[in-house]
Copies of this chain bind each other. A is one copy, B any other.
Amino acid sequence: MTQFRLTPLAQSLPATVPFVGPESQERARSRLFDARLGANENVFGPSPVATRAMAETAQWMYGDPESFELREALAGHYGITPDMIMVGEGIDGLLGYLVRLMVGPGDAVVTSDGAYPTFNYHVAGYGGVLHKVPYKKDFEDPEALFAKAADVDAKLVYLANPDNPMGTAHPGKDIVAAMEKLPEGTLLVLDEAYIECAPQGTPLPLPMDDPRVIRLRTFSKVYGLAGARVGYALGHPDLIAAFNKVRNHFGMNRAAQAGALAALEDQTWLRSVQARIAAARNRIWDIARSTGLKPLPSAANFVAVDCNRDAEFAKAVLHEMVARGVFIRMPMAAPQNRCIRISCGTPANLDILAEVLPVALRAAENC
């Protein structure tokens, strides 16, 4: 690598992948997975109207760099103005832009130990210094996050609500209450990727242009369009405008813009997916309990399941599941890594889960 004159920061970074994709695992095992329940994708898929809109889009044209129609529709949906909305290449892409805008070498950032690795990847990628606070009984701990932010003069504090990978959520009003302790110089980065399947009262009850917070939402989860890469940020117009300093203006896929717009307009489909996610969560809870495991409560489209022992054991369970054709993932940090994480599946997927989980569990016990 020495022959290429990378920046000192780039030289210091590992050539890493935050998550190994299921396709890589399938290639390694020379077999497709029977159930794809590891990436919190939405197996119920997008609205058929969205699928049609994507298929009918002429892809010889670049997408609209302003994502104007989608932003107009989102503004109508939320009763806000389009200047509070930035559309980007998924929450991952928007987090990258946000970190780039605000975090330079040595700048402090706060997150929970075991929260979203891709956020951490971006912070490290711009030379920021991550400070982590522990989860509190498998919930992210807003008070501790904001207190730590004050301690270290953090520029950003990351909080996912609902949380990933644990699936737990706080009522939005509790986060507002905790924000009393949010220091003035810290921006709250609120990742609401799973908000559409969370209980009423989970969204933050604050105006979308509150300058203390930027919210990130997506069409990848409950709207079923992970492959399309459409996320959006909601925030103060000055902050939203700053994305224009660094973003890839022509980075949006044109069909994806049309698909997201159509998906947003089909709230009937969204409600049907919400119901199917709720049913799938119930079934995962039942399956886990019937094998003696402890499923956690979930406000998201997945369930974290406590395997009752240590990380090594959870890892063995995961390994045995994957070996039997069920793609799942698990939390990366202690003590949450005593759990495995199972995304909501179709009834057929969950039939497979019901069959494989007890077998995998016995195999792990005999390791």
Q: Please state if B68 and A242 are interface contacts (CB–CB under 8 Å).
A: no
Known A15-B242, A24-B68; contact A256-B253, beta-carbon cutoff 8 A: yes
A4 near B239 with CB under 8 A, answer: yes
A17's partner among B36, B125, B244 (CB-CB below 8 A) is: B244
Q: Cβ of A16 < 8 Å from any Cβ of B?
A: yes
Contacting residues of chain A (9-53) with chain B, CB-CB under 8 angstroms: 9-10, 13-19, 21, 23-24, 27, 36, 39, 41-46, 51
Q: How many copies does the complex hold?
A: 2
Given contacts A60-B46, A62-B226, A245-B16, contact A102 B6 (CB under 8 A): yes
Q: Does the CB pair B14–A245 fall under 8 Å?
A: yes
CA distance A18 to B19 in the complex (A): 33
A8 to B155, CA, bound (A): 13
* CB-based nearest B residue for A21: B65
A101 interface hit (Cβ, 8 Å)? yes
Contact with B along A218-247 (1 / 0, CB 8 A): 001000111111000000101101101110
Bound-state CA distance A102–B256 (Å) is 31
- List the B side residues contacting A159 at CB < 8 Å: none
Contact B39 A62 (CB under 8 A): yes
B256 touches A225 (CB 8 A): no
Instruction: Give chain B residues whose Cβ lies under 8 Å from the Cβ of A39.
Output: 61-62
A74 at the interface (CB under 8 A from B): no
- The reply to whether the CB of A174 lies closer than 8 angstroms to some CB of chain B is no
Name the residue on B nearest A1 (C-beta): B238
Contact of A255 among B36, B42, B220, B227 (CB under 8 A): B227
* A54 in contact (CB, < 8 A): yes
In angstroms, Cα B118 to Cα A136, docked, is 46
Q: Bound state CA distance, A14 and B62, in angstroms?
A: 23
CA distance A93 to B96 in the complex (A): 13
Min CB gap A194→B, angstroms: 15
Extra contacts besides A60-B224, A228-B253 (7): CB < 8 Å:
A4-B102, A4-B187, A7-B101, A14-B245, A24-B65, A36-B61, A229-B250
Query: What are 22 A-B contacts with C-beta separation under 8 Å?
Result: A1-B238, A3-B238, A4-B236, A7-B107, A10-B101, A10-B245, A14-B245, A16-B245, A17-B244, A17-B249, A39-B62, A45-B59, A45-B60, A54-B59, A58-B227, A59-B259, A62-B227, A63-B227, A90-B248, A227-B255, A228-B255, A229-B252
Shortest Cβ-Cβ A-B pairs, 10 listed? A227-B254, A55-B55, A59-B227, A15-B244, A23-B64, A13-B245, A7-B104, A45-B60, A21-B65, A253-B253
Instruction: Show the binding face of A for B, using Cβ within 8 Å.
Output: 1, 3-10, 13-19, 21, 23-24, 27, 36, 39, 41-46, 51, 54-55, 57-66, 68, 89-90, 92-93, 96, 100-104, 107, 118, 125, 155, 185, 187, 211, 220, 224-229, 236, 238-239, 241-242, 244-246, 248-256, 259
